[in-house]
Structure 1
Amino acid sequence: MTTIIQGSQLRTILFGTAVSKAYTPLVVETKTLFTITGGKVLITSITGEVTTAITVANTVKLQVNPTTGTTKDLCAATDLGTTDTPVGNLVSFQGLTGDSILTGPGAVPTLKQPVVVNTGTIEQVTATGADGGITWTLTYVPLDDGAAVAAA
């Protein structure tokens, strides 16, 4: 059977452009994961994959830090290490500011509602704990001509 459209093309049609950022080891800090330039983008998903096991209490949240304006949480701070999060687990959240990060061995939900962000950065805030690693993948659609997201 002939494949008319490739998987990567279908992903781009459904979710937009994908960008990934590996962050290991996690340390207590605010780490810039992605940089948004050129205007507004619509984030259609943000999903992480644990690449190094998280074995200690490790409170994590994601936030947007716009070039102009105030920093806004994308999700609630969540302890990812209370019950060890092994390599291969997926982490994500559903798109509401108060939602916790969800983790699962084989499946997690993605955004119920896409999020519009302006020029600035997306950051991971790790408030406690200092082990483990996550590779984050973000998909987006530019809303302004010339807008883009790049791994920091």
Structure 2
Amino acid sequence: MSVIIQGSQQRQIQVGAGPVSKASGAISGNPTINVFTVAGGEVLITGLWLKVTTSITTDGGTLAVNNVPTAGNTQVIVTATDLGTTDSVAGTVVGLDRGTTAASKFLVGGRIDLNAVVTTGVVNLVGAASVNGAVTVYVTWIPLSDGATLVAS
């Protein structure tokens, strides 16, 4: 029996291009880490998740995700979420929980669907409350403007 559509083609139909990934490197303190660069207009981030590569163990240590456009206001994509009080150990997949706020929150084992419009500029991973550890950030995306792109920073 022949295969009509490949797995990568099915993934692109359902969630867009990618996944594109960026390793944070060692996280310590209250860093702002550029993870993705958006160029040429707006893109729709259809999915976003983290994979913990070094355990996050600082009580109260939070991570958030922002879009900092070249023009306009900074947009909170994922609200600062405590991933350290209950340790997030290496190998843990951290998805999203929409909750009741305007922006999503991180949730261990959560969903990936996001559907956030971001524009030309950077997407940052923002740590606070002396967060520690390391993660790899993954996104899937669809260009909304002709020629728009999203790449790892």
User: Which residue number in structure 2 is paired with residue 110 of structure 1?
Assistant: 112
Identity of aligned residues (%): 41
Distance 1:76 1:149, change over 3 A: same
Spell out structure 1 runs of 4+ moving beyond 6 A. none
Whether the aligned pair in 1 keeps the contact of 2:84 and 2:131 (CA below 8 Å) is no
Q: Which residue type is aligned with residue 124 of structure 1?
A: L
Greater fraction of residues in strand: 2
User: Which residue number in structure 2 is paired with residue 133 of structure 1?
Assistant: 134
Corresponding residue pairs, total: 148
What's the C-alpha RMSD, in Å, of the aligned pairs? 1.6
Bigger drift between 122-131 and 57-66 goes to 122-131
Distance 1:6 1:143, change over 3 A: same
User: Which residue number in structure 1 is paired with residue 31 of structure 2?
Assistant: 29
Q: Which residue type is aligned with residue 13 of structure 2?
A: I
Q: Deviations over 1:56-112 (max 9, x none)?
A: 1321111110110011111221111111111121112246634321113xxx2122x
- In structure 2, the gaps of 5 or more residues are none
Whether the aligned pair in 2 keeps the contact of 1:40 and 1:144 (CA below 8 Å) is yes
Q: TM-score, normalised by structure 2?
A: 0.89
User: Which residue number in structure 2 is paired with residue 15 of structure 1?
Assistant: 15
Q: Does 2:50 align with 1:48?
A: yes
- In structure 1, the gaps of 5 or more residues are none
| Within-5 A mapping of 1:55-134 | 55-57=57-59, 58-94=61-97, 97-104=102-109, 108-111=110-113, 114-134=115-135
Q: Distance in 1 between matches of 2:91 and 2:10?
A: 24
